[in-house]
Amino acid sequence: MDTNILTSNGIDINKGLELLGDMEMYNDTLRDFITESETRIPQIQNALATGDMETYGILTHAMKSDSKYLGFDKLAELSYNHEMAGKGGDVAYAQTNNPELMAEANRIITVVKQYLGL
Predicted confidence (pLDDT) per residue in 58-81, tens digit: 999 999 999 999 999 999 999 999
State whether the Cα torsion 65-84-79-31 is positive or negative: positive
* Cβ-contact 53, 47 below 8 angstroms: yes
pTM for this entry: 0.94
Number of folded domains in the chain?
1
- The answer to whether residue 89 scores a pLDDT higher than 90 is yes
pLDDT at 48: 97
Q: Which residues contact 83 (CB under 8 A, 6 or more apart)?
A: 57, 60, 61, 64
Q: Print the domain residue range for 51.
A: 4-113
Rounded distance between C-alpha atoms, residue 108 and residue 71, angstroms: 11
Q: How confident is the model at residue 1 (pLDDT cuts 50, 70, 90)?
A: confident
What is the domain-level CATH number for residue 52?
Answer: 1.20.120
Let me know if residue 118 belongs to a domain.
no
Q: Residue 118 and residue 104: Cα distance in Å, rounded? A: 19
In a domain, 44, yes or no: yes
Q: How much is the pLDDT for 35?
A: 97
pLDDT of residue 11: 97
